Amino acid sequence: MNTRPPAEFAALIDNLRDFIDTEVILREDLRHAHDSEAVERTAAELYAIARSRGLGAPRARQEDGGLALSWTECCAYLEQAGRSFLGPQALRCAPPTQPDVFALDRLGSPAQRARYLEPLMRGERKSCFAMTEPAPGVGSDPRMLRTSARREGDGWVIDGHKWFISGAMRADFAIVVARTESGPSWFLVDVDTPGFERVRNIPTMEPFDMGGHAEIRITGCRVGADALVGEEGQGAAHSQLRLEGARLFHCMRYIGLASRAMDIAQAYALERESQGVPLADHQMVQAMVADAHIQLYAARQITLDVAHRLDAGTSIRHHSSMAKVFVSEAVYQVADSAVQICGALGVSEDVPVSMILRMLRPFRIYDGASEVHRAAIARRALRHRMSA
Ligand SMILES: Cc1cc2nc3c(=O)[nH]c(=O)nc-3n(C[C@H](O)[C@H](O)[C@H](O)COP(=O)(O)OP(=O)(O)OC[C@H]3O[C@@H](n4cnc5c(N)ncnc54)[C@H](O)[C@@H]3O)c2cc1C
């Protein structure tokens, strides 16, 4: 399904690897952790350099400054981009923008495309996706959605409470998931609409959270009829569509981040000595290195397989769940081993390994916790008597 000849694609990946090594990682300032503004300024500077090198957003159309890569090609591209905290941001393929673009491109009306999607793709506006709610609202169980939207006049009035909404502190608009008479629905809401209030940023363990994770109160928030995205009552299907691609992109870029952590650990193991020999000569260290290579190899293959399926247009529901569980746990284990090999330095912020570990941990919770995916995988396997 590749859209580029292999030699041309290999040159693109070499170009990207060089860009990440010589421009992006050099500008990674670990003191900018939790400073979205500083990260954004650096990312904007890097995007200009990326464009001058023929690099850009992997999935966006060429006429929009993108590379129009297949999902399969994205695996190698995102892995390279993901080696740096700043890479996906610098290439305009960081969440929530990337999955929001993907979903709005499929679902947006011509007016919504002009007002939201196109400025989003040009980097002129920022989005966020607001689904999760504090108890007793929706978390792992989508049926617990409480935010509501009721018809009034020729528009809608939305009421609800959301939290952990990534990017919301710096977003211009939100895709709000709300319950309507016919089921969950999606609405586009500008953040300056009266009744839409970002209460606070919720600090998390993620050092580079790109626009925070906001708590949002929505009180009597009036939007027009044209705020409804796609068909009323189809919000669950829309969310599924958005999530499948989002999960895969996370897998790809986090393989890059985990692989970088292990590269740092391997370099440390070759330099640092214990009992008169380099750490690299100790078999228990070697076992951690070997397991990391096995885990990353398997993580790449499973991700690539799901990407092939997505390119082929087949359903990836079951396979993307398996990939999400496997990759989120594998990359975390690799980063944890990297911390262990680096000893005290590994838990410090002198090197990025501990920050990588902190970036990877939440992935076992968002986009479906491992337990929820395992339950769904087992349910399908047992109900349809699937052979393992
Ligand atoms: C860093 C980060 C960014 C996020 N960004 C966004 C965002 O941009 N937009 C958004 O809408 N949401 C976002 N979320 C929220 C995320 O989608 C939710 O955390 C996730 O859906 C789980 O919901 P919950 O946290 O309420 O967990 P809960 O539903 O409270 O579950 C807690 C734990 O219970 C267990 N559990 C739950 N259900 C089951 C089950 N059926 N079977 C077995 N075990 C179960 C799991 O171990 C789970 O981790 C983000 C979360 C994080 C951490």
- 220 burial (CB, 10 Å; 0-12 / 13-18 / 19+) is exposed
Which of 34, 128, 177, 366, when mutated, tests ligand 1's pocket best, judged by the most ligand atoms within 8 Å of its CB? 366
Which of 141, 144, 243, 365, when mutated, tests ligand 1's pocket best, judged by the most ligand atoms within 8 Å of its CB? 365
Chain region(s) in the chain for CATH 1.10.540.10: 6-94
Percent of the chain with pLDDT over 90: 91
Structure confidence by residue, pLDDT tens digits, 84-132? 999 999 999 999 999 999 999 999 999 999 999 999 998 899 999 999 9
Structure confidence by residue, pLDDT tens digits, 186-231? 999 999 999 999 999 999 999 987 789 999 999 999 999 999 999 9
Stated pTM of the model:
0.96
CA of residue 365 to ligand 1 center, whole Å: 5
C-alpha span between 44 and 385 (Å, rounded): 50
Picking from 332, 242, 249, 349, the residue whose alpha carbon sits closest to that of residue 292 is 332
CA of residue 363 to ligand 1 center, whole Å: 10
The angle at the Cα of 361, spanning 253 to 134, to the nearest 5 degrees, equals 110
C-alpha span between 146 and 87 (Å, rounded): 36
C-alpha span between 164 and 200 (Å, rounded): 10
Query: What backbone torsions phi and psi does residue 181 show, to the nearest 5 degrees?
Result: -55, -35
Q: Residue 3 — pLDDT band, cuts 50, 70, 90?
A: confident
Q: What is the DSSP letter of 168?
A: G
| Predicted local confidence at residue 64, as pLDDT | 79
Is residue 19 within 8 Å of residue 50, measured between CB atoms?
yes
Is the predicted pLDDT of residue 1 greater than 50, yes or no?
no
Write the Ramachandran bin of 223: left for phi over 0, alpha for psi from -120 to 50, otherwise beta: beta
Is the peptide bond between 6 and the residue preceding it cis, with omega within 30 degrees of 0? no
Mean per-residue pLDDT for 273-299?
A: 98
Q: Is the dihedral of CA 79, 33, 218, 173 positive or negative?
A: negative
Q: Residue 62 — pLDDT band, cuts 50, 70, 90?
A: confident
Atom of ligand 1 nearest to the CA of 138: 26
Chain region(s) in the chain for CATH 1.20.140.10: 236-383
Is the predicted pLDDT of residue 309 greater than 70, yes or no?
yes
Residue nearest to atom 1 of ligand 1 (CA): 362
Query: What backbone torsions phi and psi does residue 184 show, to the nearest 5 degrees?
Result: -65, 140
Which of 187, 372, 377, when mutated, tests ligand 1's pocket best, judged by the most ligand atoms within 8 Å of its CB? 372
Q: Does domain 236-383 have CATH number 3.30.230.10?
A: no
Residue nearest to atom 14 of ligand 1 (CA): 164
Is residue 113 within 8 Å of residue 49, measured between CB atoms?
no
- 173 burial (CB, 10 Å; 0-12 / 13-18 / 19+) is buried
Q: Residue 60 — pLDDT band, cuts 50, 70, 90?
A: confident
For residue 334, count other CB atoms closer than 10 A to its CB.
Answer: 29
Is the predicted pLDDT of residue 137 greater than 80, yes or no?
yes
Superfamily of domain 6-94: Acyl-CoA dehydrogenase/oxidase, N-terminal domain (1.10.540.10)
Chain region(s) in the chain for CATH 2.40.110.10: 127-233
Is the predicted pLDDT of residue 46 greater than 50, yes or no?
yes
Which of 164, 176, 359, when mutated, tests ligand 1's pocket best, judged by the most ligand atoms within 8 Å of its CB? 164
| Predicted local confidence at residue 375, as pLDDT | 98
| Predicted local confidence at residue 208, as pLDDT | 87
Mean per-residue pLDDT for 279-304?
A: 98
CA of residue 192 to ligand 1 center, whole Å: 27
The pLDDT mean for the chain works out to 95
Structure confidence by residue, pLDDT tens digits, 354-386? 999 999 999 999 999 999 999 999 999 999 999
Superfamily of domain 127-233: Butyryl-CoA Dehydrogenase, subunit A, domain 2 (2.40.110.10)
Atom of ligand 1 nearest to the CA of 204: 1
Ligand 1: residues with CB < 6 A are 96, 129-132, 139-140, 164-166, 204, 206, 213, 362, 365-366, 369, 371-372, 375
Residue nearest to atom 31 of ligand 1 (CA): 140
CA of residue 366 to ligand 1 center, whole Å: 5
CA of residue 159 to ligand 1 center, whole Å: 21
Residue nearest to atom 6 of ligand 1 (CA): 165
C-alpha span between 145 and 89 (Å, rounded): 30
Is the predicted pLDDT of residue 150 greater than 70, yes or no?
yes
Atom of ligand 1 nearest to the CA of 131: 11
Residue nearest to atom 51 of ligand 1 (CA): 366
